[in-house]
Structure 1
Amino acid sequence: MRNLRITLAFRGCAYHGTQVQKNALTVTEVFQDALEKVLGVREDIKNCSRLDAGVHANQFDLNIKTQSAIPCDGLLRGLNACLTGDMAVLAVREVPEDFHARYSCLGKEYLYKVHNAPIRDPFGAGLVCEYPFPLDEGTLHRAAQAFVGRHDFAAFCSAGSSVEDTVRTIHSFSVCREGEMVLFTVAGDGFLYNMVRILVGTLLDVAAGKIPVEALPEIIASRDRVRAGKTAPACGLYLNRVFYQLPLEDDAP
């Protein structure tokens, strides 16, 4: 029995998240269909993460255990021939038997894209969050440092989450500008339900003058979702990297 780690990239616009659902098209279903065409059997899939509808991925890892003898490069070519244009397999690798895409993960990095211009980009529809008002990326970067470190992020978790432990460690949080695009990049050991989108939404509320920068530590300490900012739209969010070894920077597809 072989254990294979498969790395995907996908545009999430057409999908209702990653988990298989009865009445909606999902990333896992589409990938599993392609995998079945190549292998001739419907293998069980272990995903690295659960993403919401409309969220994208520059790196999304999963693993399968299979008796197929197809070489990794042949499987990569076969899968890409069966997948639609909004999804691609970046790599297929043999890994130890105990590797699990979710439980072996040491951390993740998310990227959030904000198109910051008075006129929306029609070619970015579904791929970026539109924000027409001025943003000072330097101020936002400094404000984002309030989230770095180990904190209880209960104030930045959407209602409905069943997670009891809301303490997470944010390793880094940067905000930078590339032309009209403002990029929020946050890496940590784990994230709560909608946590990144609420962190970004809170920073956008700081930019709008709705939340004072100095109030961020108090909001974290309050554990009160009402005190944090809005939830930024799913369209701007990308799972950017998934880390499986230390140092984190060395693990890329």
Structure 2
Amino acid sequence: MRNIRIILEYDGTNYHGWQYQKNALTIQEVVKKAVEKITAEKINLIGASRTDTGVHAYYQVANFKSKTKIPAEKIPYAINSLLPRDITVVEAEDVEQDFHSRYSSKGKRYRYVILNRKFSSPIMRNYCWHINYKLDVERMKEAANFLIGTHDFSAFKASGSNVKNSIRTVKEAVLNKDKDIITFEIEADGFLYNMVRIIVGTLVDIGCHKIEPYMIKNILESKNRNLAGKTSPPQGLYLLKIFYVNSL
């Protein structure tokens, strides 16, 4: 029995996230059906990140056990022949039997994109958060620095989340602006449910002078979700990279 790891890129616009759902189309379901067709066996497709409805991925990792004789280098071609154009397997390889896409992960990196101009973009509408009032990027940069380090991120997780340990270590939090596009990238050893989107919502509050940059520190210390900003829309979020001990 082989353990096969695949790397996927997808546009999440037309899907209800990664995770299988009974009454909604998901990326996991589409990919799993394609893999089962080419291998002629039932498989358990394990994804590294349960991206939400509308969230995109440049680099999602999944693995499955199979007896297939198809060479690893041929697997992407086989799966892609059955996938829609908004999902692509970009790489496949055989890995150790104990490799688990989710539990073997040592960290992730996300990007969030904001279109900051008066009018929206028909082309970018599914790939950014359009904000039509000017944001103070320097204030947002200052605030992002308070996220770096090991903190309890309880204030930045979705209400109702049942995760017991909310302590995470953020290695990098970088915000840049190029013309009308603001990008925020954050890398950590793990993320809580909606953590990145809530952080972005809070940074936007800082960018429009609702709260001061240093308040990020106070919100972290409070562990109170009600003090953080709103959850930003999903379409601006991209899974950029997943890290492992022997990083891909």
The answer to whether structure 1 residue 167 and structure 2 residue 167 are counterparts is yes
Q: What residue is the counterpart of 2:153 in the other structure?
A: 153
Q: What residue is the counterpart of 2:136 in the other structure?
A: 136
Q: Which runs of 4+ in 1 moved over 3 A?
A: none
Q: What residue is the counterpart of 2:54 in the other structure?
A: 54
Q: What residue is the counterpart of 1:3 in the other structure?
A: 3
C-alpha distance in structure 2 between counterparts of 1:154 and 1:186, whole Å? 17
Q: What residue is the counterpart of 1:218 in the other structure?
A: 218
Amino acid at match of 1:140: M
Q: 1:41 deviation in Å?
A: 1.6
Deviations 1:157-181 (A, max 9, x none): 1112110111111000000123321
Q: What residue is the counterpart of 1:207 in the other structure?
A: 207
Whether the 8 Å contact between 1:200 and 1:232 is mirrored in structure 2 is: yes
Q: 1:217 deviation in Å?
A: 1.0
Q: 1:73 deviation in Å?
A: 1.8
Q: 1:19 deviation in Å?
A: 1.0
Q: What residue is the counterpart of 2:25 in the other structure?
A: 25
Whether the 8 Å contact between 1:152 and 1:166 is mirrored in structure 2 is: yes
Amino acid at match of 1:239: L
Q: What residue is the counterpart of 1:118 in the other structure?
A: 118
Paired residues for 1:237-252 under 5 Å: 237-245=237-245, 251-252=247-248
Aligned positions, number: 248
C-alpha distance in structure 1 between counterparts of 2:208 and 2:139, whole Å? 12
Q: What are structure 1's unaligned runs of at least 5 residues?
A: none
Whether the 8 Å contact between 2:136 and 2:208 is mirrored in structure 1 is: no
C-alpha distance in structure 2 between counterparts of 1:204 and 1:29, whole Å? 34
Paired residues for 1:28-39 under 5 Å: 28-39=28-39
Q: What residue is the counterpart of 2:77 in the other structure?
A: 77
Q: Give me the CA root mean square deviation.
A: 1.1
C-alpha distance in structure 2 between counterparts of 1:90 and 1:182, whole Å? 27
Whether the 8 Å contact between 1:156 and 1:199 is mirrored in structure 2 is: yes
Deviations 1:206-251 (A, max 9, x none): 01111111222111100000111111001101111000126xxxx3
Q: Percent identity?
A: 39
Q: What residue is the counterpart of 1:105 in the other structure?
A: 105
SS in 2 for 1:124: coil
Q: 1:135 deviation in Å?
A: 2.4
**TM-score, structure 1 length as denominator?**
0.95
Q: 1:189 deviation in Å?
A: 0.4
SS in 1 for 2:214: helix
Q: What residue is the counterpart of 1:86 in the other structure?
A: 86
Deviations 1:20-59 (A, max 9, x none): 1110000100001111221112211111011111111110
Whether the 8 Å contact between 1:138 and 1:176 is mirrored in structure 2 is: no
Whether the 8 Å contact between 2:4 and 2:63 is mirrored in structure 1 is: yes
Q: What are structure 2's unaligned runs of at least 5 residues?
A: none
Amino acid at match of 1:139: R
SS in 1 for 2:25: coil
C-alpha distance in structure 1 between counterparts of 2:62 and 2:96, whole Å? 14
C-alpha distance in structure 2 between counterparts of 1:153 and 1:75, whole Å? 39
Deviates more, 1:40-49 or 1:134-143: 134-143
Q: 1:139 deviation in Å?
A: 2.8
Whether the 8 Å contact between 1:57 and 1:240 is mirrored in structure 2 is: yes
Amino acid at match of 2:125: A
SS in 1 for 2:204: helix
SS in 2 for 1:196: helix
